[in-house]
Structure 1
């Protein structure tokens, strides 16, 4: 498991549950991406009624200044600007009667909007 940026500098941790890793790896494979190089990008962007929201997408490879985390065979890429908002977070995959999807448990959040789609630190 790597918790280093591409330049070898140590970074705060991001955790990924086994359920989230399995789901993301299945999706990466369906997209035809090489899971040894490609990964899931987790980022924070401006938006939502609370001010910030999470974003996720698949990337072919990490950017030069990304922190790279490897959990259960899934590579997760986080840019430096996003890392300050989500360090210490856990990415999980939830499946239930109402909804199914990825969820970020972020210890830095001080408030969330009513729908849970955006947050403030």
Structure 2
């Protein structure tokens, strides 16, 4: 696993559990994406009752200013603005009776809305 930017400088980045990486890679491969170049973009956007919310999507390639990390074969792209809010977080995948899906454990959060979909730092 690498936790550095594309130019090799260290960054406080996002961690990804093995289960989350495996699920994301399977989804990417199911869409015919090249996992050697493309990756999972994790970002923060305005919205939700607490003010900010997480977003995720697959991108074919990173942007020039992205922090790029590799976790269990999954490339993760985070833009500089989002990294300010989610640096040090962990992306997990839950697969249980009550919930299934990706979840961000963010140590920077000071409060979340009742449903857990939005947050404040």
When normalised by structure 1's length, the TM-score is 0.96
* Root mean square deviation of aligned Cα: 0.9
Question: Which residue in the other structure is 2:94 paired with?
Answer: 94
Secondary structure of residue in 1 paired with 2:12: coil
Cα pair 1:37 1:60 within 8 Å, conserved: yes
Long gaps (5+) in structure 1: none
**Alpha-carbon distance in structure 2 between the residues aligned to 1:104 and 1:11:** 18
Could you tell me how far apart the structure 2 residues matched to 1:7 and 1:46 are? 29
**1:66 counterpart residue number:** 66
8 Å CA contact 1:7–1:65 kept in 2: the answer is: no
Contact map agreement 2:28 2:58 (CA 8 A) in 1: yes
Counterparts of 1:17 and 1:62 in 2: how far apart (Å)? 21
1:1-121 map, 5 Å? 1-121=1-121
Question: May I ask how many residue pairs the two structures share in their alignment?
Answer: 121
The alpha-carbon deviation at position 110 of structure 1 amounts to: 0.3
Cα distance in 2 between the residues matched to 1:33 and 1:90: 24
- 1:97 shift after superposition: 1.1
List runs of 5+ in structure 2 lacking aligned partners. Answer: none
Quick one: distance in 2 between partners of 1:10 and 1:65?
14
* 4+ residue runs over 6 A deviation: none
